[in-house]
Amino acid sequence: MMAENNVSLVSKESSLMNSTVDISEFGYQQELKRTMNVWHLTAFGLNYMVPIAPAIIFGFLLHTSGGTVALPYLLAGLAMFLTALSYGVMVRNFPLAGSVYNYVGRGWSPHLGFIAGWTLTLDYILIPTVTAASSALYAQQLFPSIPYWVLLAFFSIGMGILNLFGVELLSKMGLWLLVIGEFVVWFSFLVWGKAVYNGMGTGMLISSEPFHFKDLSSLAAATSLAVFSYLGFDAITTLAEETKHPKRDIPRTIYWSIGIGTLTMFLSGYIGMLAIPDWQKYISDTNWLNTTLFQVSKKTGGDWFSVFFTAGYLTELGVFNLVATAAGARLLYGMGRDTLLPKSIFAKINKRWHTPHWNIIIIVAIEFILGFSQSIDTLSNLVNYGALFGFGTLNLAVIWLYYMKKKGRSPLSHGDQPNWKPTGWRNVRYLIIPILGFVSILYVWLSMDHLALIIGTIWLALGIGFLAIKTKGFRKLPPHLDL
């Protein structure tokens, strides 16, 4: 018995040792402070997939699908889980800041890595804009006399200032704010459900009403928009250089975040729709679309509950904005460090707060400008172009790394050995699942809003043109990305 315990102890110690990282092997110096553990990361990811996130796009999902919000969230969650498994593989191989940019660049091609990072930058920059704009719109329901632009500036600049203080502050706040957010969400479920039980809406807690949709193409388009609420799992990987044991803890956190997030958002879509089976009467009202769950809360719980819901929503959106800006700033940092963006700006670290301060300031400026000039549904659709493009290429990068380059690392349980070849049932994990992930992402991506596809493709073309100039017609590797 003692011998077995010793073997188990040695195995655990070996796994923990393999989960630590010295990034000097990738040619970098450790500049960011490693403070994050699995609990901090889980709070970060779930706060990014803010439990109350359906309130941002609930009305637009309903309008796009033609009657359902629960199904788009469920289908998006399943697609994201397949891709999350590929993320778990790549973070063990390349535990660096930069997310898809590093994973695709090092696992497949540095040029494709740049393009994937370039498209993903679009949604990381726009996500804080969506959250700030939505916060301002919900706040206006309580304070209609305050101009929208004033509320937008308050959220944008205020969250930017907090971000300058560093991710350590976020990690300390995150667990408590996550508890608050989950309480608001589950208490809302009780209030909405009680109102339905008492005869409001469908008058039944078990109903097929929340699963009605116009047609398959409408459902697919709504699913592509629902991806917006799941980007937290990708944001977790941007903190790889600030995590104590990234190879072990980041994959675990990704799976937990996807599972909990899917359950919460599915229930929001299901119970919320039970209260408004007559949604067709309101769908042409822009204000109702922007603040649907405020209207649901007011209908089911009265003025006091609408105030409670909005207060919780604004708190959670503030946290969402914090972590979104933090993740976006670190993605830009990873690209700036490799001089794919001007290094003097994007790779600059504040000596006092140890944060990429110029990146934060740039994102805050974009938040205010676009939040003031564009609608939430346009921005939300555009956000997902880059995310889905990046997710698709990452799934293919796993296959390329393990089956074409044959330079993938083994699981931690196998000693985290380099140049490992999957055999037997391991092919499911490293070949079949990435293929399924890519196919599901491709289908959802092609179902996106046409305007978002056009604008996103223009952004993609600009990135390809920039890279062609930077690498002299793709004849050189992107600078400082030593592969």
DSSP reduced 3-state for 243: strand
Residue 168 has a pLDDT of: 55
Residue 20 has a pLDDT of: 57
**Residue 447 belongs to what domain range?**
33-402+434-470
Query: What does the alpha-carbon distance between residue 331 and residue 116 come to, in Å, rounded to a whole number?
Result: 12
pLDDT band at 13 (very low <50, low <70, confident <90, very high): very low
Q: Which amino acid is at 163?
A: N
Q: Which of 74, 20, 119 is nearest to 211 (CA)?
A: 74
Question: What is the mean predicted confidence (pLDDT) over 324-351?
Answer: 76
Residue 5 has a pLDDT of: 45
pLDDT band at 97 (very low <50, low <70, confident <90, very high): low
CA distances from 409 to 183, 397, 398, 416 (A): 40, 14, 11, 6
396 domain residue, yes or no:
yes
439 domain residue, yes or no:
yes
pLDDT band at 300 (very low <50, low <70, confident <90, very high): very high
pTM of the model: 0.79
pLDDT at 460 over 80: yes
Q: What does the chain come to in residues?
A: 483
254, 45 Cβ separation under 8 angstroms: yes
82, 436 Cβ separation under 8 angstroms: yes
Question: What is the mean predicted confidence (pLDDT) over 330-349?
Answer: 76
264 domain residue, yes or no:
yes
The two tokens of residue 49 are 């997939």
Rg of the chain (C-alpha set): 22
The two tokens of residue 172 are 């300390």
Q: Which amino acid is at 124?
A: Y
Q: Name the DSSP class of 355.
A: S
How big is the CA angle at 299 (ends 145 and 225), to the nearest 5 degrees?
80
Query: What does the alpha-carbon distance between residue 276 and residue 477 come to, in Å, rounded to a whole number?
Result: 55
Q: Which of 36, 445, 81 is nearest to 233 (CA)?
A: 81
Highest mean pLDDT among 24-38, 54-68, 413-427: 54-68
Strands (DSSP E) along 134-258, which ranges?
Answer: none
Query: What does the alpha-carbon distance between residue 181 and residue 45 come to, in Å, rounded to a whole number?
Result: 13
pLDDT band at 173 (very low <50, low <70, confident <90, very high): low
125 Cβ contact partners less than 8 Å away, ≥ 6 residues apart: 328, 363, 366
Highest mean pLDDT among 302-311, 427-436, 466-475: 427-436
Query: What does the alpha-carbon distance between residue 315 and residue 351 come to, in Å, rounded to a whole number?
Result: 29
165, 173 Cβ separation under 8 angstroms: no
7 domain residue, yes or no:
no
pLDDT at 24 over 70: no
Residue 433 has a pLDDT of: 95
The two tokens of residue 180 are 């608050």
Residue 213 has a pLDDT of: 92
340 domain residue, yes or no:
yes
Residue 381 has a pLDDT of: 77
CATH number of the domain enclosing 340: 1.20.1740.10
Residue 482 has a pLDDT of: 39
416 domain residue, yes or no:
no
The two tokens of residue 99 are 């997310």
CA distances from 198 to 100, 193, 194, 275, 423 (A): 48, 9, 6, 11, 57
CA distances from 15 to 10, 11, 94, 212, 411 (A): 9, 6, 17, 47, 10
23 domain residue, yes or no:
no
Question: What is the mean predicted confidence (pLDDT) over 266-280?
Answer: 91
Q: Name the DSSP class of 391.
A: H
Tens digit of each residue's pLDDT (9 = 90 or more) over 383-425: 888 888 989 999 999 999 999 999 888 887 777 788 898 988 9
55, 313 Cβ separation under 8 angstroms: yes
Q: Which amino acid is at 18?
A: N
pLDDT at 7 over 50: no
357 domain residue, yes or no:
yes
DSSP reduced 3-state for 440: helix
- Tell how far CA 312 is from the center of its chain: 20
Query: What does the alpha-carbon distance between residue 370 and residue 337 come to, in Å, rounded to a whole number?
Result: 27
Number of domains the chain is built from: 1
Residue 2 has a pLDDT of: 44
Q: What is the chain's mean pLDDT, rounded?
A: 82
The β-bridge partners of 243 are 36
DSSP reduced 3-state for 147: coil
Query: What does the alpha-carbon distance between residue 268 and residue 76 come to, in Å, rounded to a whole number?
Result: 14
The two tokens of residue 191 are 């209030």
- Tell how far CA 253 is from the center of its chain: 13
